[in-house]
Amino acid sequence: MAALSRIEDMDYKAMRILIITNLYPPQFLGGYELRCKETAVELAQRGNDVFVLSSKWERGASFTEDNVYRRLLIDSSDEVPSSNIDNSWYWRQRYQQIQSALHSRRNYAITTELINTLQPSLVFVWNMGGMGVSPILASQDQGIPVVFSIGDYWLIHLKQKLCDESSLIKRKYWSAILGLGDFNRLDLAHLLVVSGAVRQVYVKNGFLEQNLHIIPRGVKSERVLPERALSSLPDHHQGQVKFLFLGRLVPEKGPDVAIGAIEILRRQYGIKNIQLDIVGDGPSEYILMLKNLVSKWKLEDQVSFLGKLEHSQVWDLYMRYNALLFPYRWEEPIGGTILEAMARGLPVIISERGGPMEYVKHGENGLLVPGDRPEEWAEAINRFLALGTQALRNMRISALNTIKEKYIFESVVDRILAYFQQIAS
């Protein structure tokens, strides 16, 4: 793969960039959407004309403000039931999928109209969940270069529906719903993936390696804690030890594992001066299950649910805890929460899988746990508690240096813009 030039090495020309995404703050589910806005703002501050085309999620009518066009139709036809499937759910799904087909056609027209009005140099696709691919097709059909930001596996899931499904009838059905016909109709020459781990999964699923360029996420330089401030952070040798779980409350993120580890630490290791605060939101049924675990094990005094917080509140929150617990079960693409925690001097204890393994080195700037069994996590936390003050400080310094060297947001945007310039030229 050819190396990407840095933006300062190029004859830079301001661009007109249209970002297409399903959700855009203040409408968001997690860090994925927040980083979309951060990127859009930074691109605009570099002198580019940046526009965002997003959905009308939770809004009855189209709405435009500050170059953000909330016009696209979004649906949830891919959702699956959490309990037994019945006939009413089946027919509701069929209705939603037909509605998706109608939405797809309408979104194509909306995108075409806006492109003709704005005349962008380039379209930057962030997340298409719930919207199909018709805005992408509309961009291609207007002759606009399309670059994808790939921070998850949605394109793989789409390919599996259209290409890898064994049933010809199902493949034809999904092609009709999406209005795509042939998966190869998508121009996938410009895929910016957030980690080598994500690239590896895409290559394994038939995507061309030469089309997959690694540009990670990053943390704004102003958010990186100065090394001199580390002395003010909590030391787990002093009083109560506080752990933080921050993220979407869904099974793949593993908050149940963190709760189970706290229970084992208390019961098996006799450690009672520990507190776990869980920050985030998710499906009500899953949250109820988590709270039932807390009640079952009588952990009400040790586990608290703080709900969903504004992102602006999180930066100071990281500095109040002794470590971040992140026992994710899936192939975490990059781990924005992990990067943020490390940038704020918070030690991280994470799963040994996915993109974060590219920057979290066991025993140096964090701890890796090989599985998702609470017993393994309790043992890892106990090892963390045994770290001396100097070892803890060295881990924090190493984490800060990791962020400074490779994951500064402004440098990441440099690389994105350099790539855009190459494509537009």
Same fold flag, 7-218+408-424 and 221-406: yes
User: To the nearest whole percent, how much of the chain has pLDDT over 90?
Assistant: 72
Bridge-based pairing of strands 68-72 and 63-65 is: antiparallel
Token pair 């540009």 in the structure block, residue = 215
Statement: residue 77 has pLDDT above 90? no
Number of H helices, E strands in the chain: 13, 14
Q: Quick one: which H or E segment has residue 377?
A: helix 374-385
CA distance 359 to 46: 28
Q: What is the pLDDT of residue 165?
A: 73
**Region 333-362 average pLDDT:** 97
Strand partners, 348: 324
**Region 124-128 average pLDDT:** 93
191 contacts 202 by C-beta, under 8 angstroms: yes
Structure tokens at 142: 């207007």
pTM: 0.87
Q: Which amino acid is at 182?
A: D
Statement: residue 58 has pLDDT above 80? no
Q: What is the pLDDT of residue 95?
A: 55
**Region 345-354 average pLDDT:** 97
Q: What is the pLDDT of residue 6?
A: 46
Give pLDDT tens digits for 224-249.
999 999 999 988 877 889 999 999 99
32 band by pLDDT with thresholds 50, 70 and 90: confident
**Region 322-349 average pLDDT:** 97
**Region 9-38 average pLDDT:** 85
329 contacts 254 by C-beta, under 8 angstroms: yes
Highest mean pLDDT among 93-107, 128-142, 409-423: 409-423
Whole-angstrom CA distances from 70 to 23, 107, 251, 351 are 9, 11, 31, 37
Structure tokens at 243: 């752990």
Q: What is the pLDDT of residue 82?
A: 37
**Region 312-333 average pLDDT:** 95
310 band by pLDDT with thresholds 50, 70 and 90: confident
Residue of higher predicted confidence among 335 and 90: 335
Residue of higher predicted confidence among 227 and 74: 227
Least confident of 6-10, 80-84, 298-302, 342-346: 80-84
Statement: residue 196 has pLDDT above 80? yes
Domain layout of the chain by residue ranges: 7-218+408-424, 221-406
CA-based Rg of the chain, rounded to a whole angstrom? 23
Residue 38 main-chain phi, psi, to 5 deg: -55, -45
Residue of higher predicted confidence among 26 and 181: 26
CA distance 390 to 378: 22
CA distance 193 to 319: 30
Residue of higher predicted confidence among 94 and 53: 53
Helices (H), 218-254: none
Token pair 């259209």 in the structure block, residue = 162
Task: Quote the strand ranges of 33-115, DSSP E.
Answer: 49-55, 63-65, 68-72
Token pair 């962030």 in the structure block, residue = 126
Whole-angstrom CA distances from 259 to 294, 335, 352 are 7, 20, 19
**Region 13-19 average pLDDT:** 94
Token pair 């192939």 in the structure block, residue = 331
Q: What is the pLDDT of residue 103?
A: 81
Fold of 7-218+408-424: Rossmann fold (3.40.50)
Q: Which CATH class is domain 221-406?
A: alpha beta
Whole-angstrom CA distances from 336 to 31, 150, 222, 279, 419 are 7, 14, 16, 15, 22
